[in-house]
């Protein structure tokens, strides 16, 4: 039986394995063993399918973000780490996320409510969301383009000794570095907001 979820999962498999250009309604219908017209009972067009695929793969909020009673800063960190992990797992969907910034609005609404309840100044919530999302997207683009970019071979090291020394002595993994910078973004925005939120 053809369902919206079955279509999304099949489309995601094609995009992950072969790229965005490989996904056509004809190809998707063939993979599902149905006629192309039947897809339009669930989606308006190919772009509608891609948006649904990206929504499914990239912007699902971890359940613990809405259930566990933790500080707002932890919620933000969980969210941006989950987004980066999803982007690294589905890098071919990054262009869709960039073209459709409204993706994940329902999830963002639920998390925003938690943040405001937790004491985050309402005027700073979007700054936090946007800063962290851009950091996750940029990091994922960089890492998927060249996962070994920070490695320096011996020949290159002769010309760039300072960079070579820094790469050699780096103590954090790329994931740990991502979390460190994300936590710094959160801390910096909240510290800047403190004076403005104080009465008088």
Band (pLDDT 50/70/90 cuts) for residue 200 is very low
Phi, psi of 168 (to 5 degrees): -65, -35
CB of 96 closer than 8 Å to CB of 16 = no
pLDDT at residue 18 is higher than 50: yes
Q: How many residues does the chain have?
A: 200
- CATH class of the 59-197 domain in this structure: mainly alpha
* Tens-digit pLDDT profile for residues 47-90: 999 999 999 988 776 777 777 788 999 999 998 999 999 999 99
pTM higher than the cut 0.95? no
**DSSP letter for each residue of 97-139:** HHH-TTTTHHHHHHHHHHHHHTT--HHHHHHHHHHHHHHHHHH
Phi, psi of 35 (to 5 degrees): -85, 145
Q: Name the band, by pLDDT with cuts 50, 70 and 90, for residue 197.
A: low
Mean pLDDT confidence for 154-170: 82
Smallest CA-to-CA distance from 175 within 87, 68, 91 is with 87
Q: How far apart are CA 189 and CA 11, in angstroms?
A: 38
| Count of beta carbons in the 10 Å neighbourhood of residue 123 | 10
Checking if the pLDDT of 115 tops 60, the result is yes
Quick one: pLDDT band at residue 135, thresholds 50, 70, 90?
very high
For tokens 């009972």, the residue is 41
Residue 148 pLDDT greater than 70, yes or no: no
Average pLDDT, rounded, for the chain: 87
The number of beta carbons lying within 10 Å of the beta carbon of residue 189 is 18
Which of 92 and 194 is assigned the larger pLDDT? 92
Candidates 1.10.10.10, 1.10.10.60, 1.20.1260.10, 3.40.50.2020; correct CATH number of 4-56? Answer: 1.10.10.60
Alpha carbon dihedral 24, 141, 16, 175, in 10-degree steps, equals -160
> What is the rounded radius of gyration, in angstroms, for the C-alpha atoms of the chain?
21
Domain ranges (residues) in the chain: 4-56, 59-197
Please indicate whether the domains covering 4-56 and 59-197 agree at the CATH topology level.
no
- pLDDT for 52 equals 94
pLDDT for res 199: 47
Is 152's pLDDT higher than 80? no
């Amino acid at each position: 039986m053809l369902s919206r979820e079955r279509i999304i999962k099949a489309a995601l498999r094609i995009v992950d394995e072969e790229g965005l250009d490989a996904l056509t309604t004809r190809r998707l219908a063939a993979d599902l063993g149905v006629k192309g017209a039947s897809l339009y009972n669930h989606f308006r067009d190919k772009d509608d399918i891609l948006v649904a695929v990206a929504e499914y793969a990239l912007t699902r909020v971890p359940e613990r973000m809405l259930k566990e009673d933790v500080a707002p800063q932890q919620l933000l960190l969980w969210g941006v780490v989950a987004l980066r992990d999803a982007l690294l797992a589905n890098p071919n969907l990054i262009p869709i996320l960039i073209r459709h910034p409204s993706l994940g609005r329902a999830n963002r609404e639920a998390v925003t409510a938690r943040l405001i309840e937790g004491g985050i100044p309402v005027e700073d919530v979007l700054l936090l969301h946007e800063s962290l999302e851009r950091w996750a997207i940029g990091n994922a683009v960089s890492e998927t383009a060249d996962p070994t970019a920070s490695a320096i071979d011996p020949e290159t090291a002769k010309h760039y000794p300072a960079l070579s020394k820094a790469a050699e002595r780096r103590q954090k993994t790329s994931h740990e570095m991502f979390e460190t910078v994300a936590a710094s973004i959160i801390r910096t925005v909240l510290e800047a907001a403190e004076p403005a939120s104080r009465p008088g």
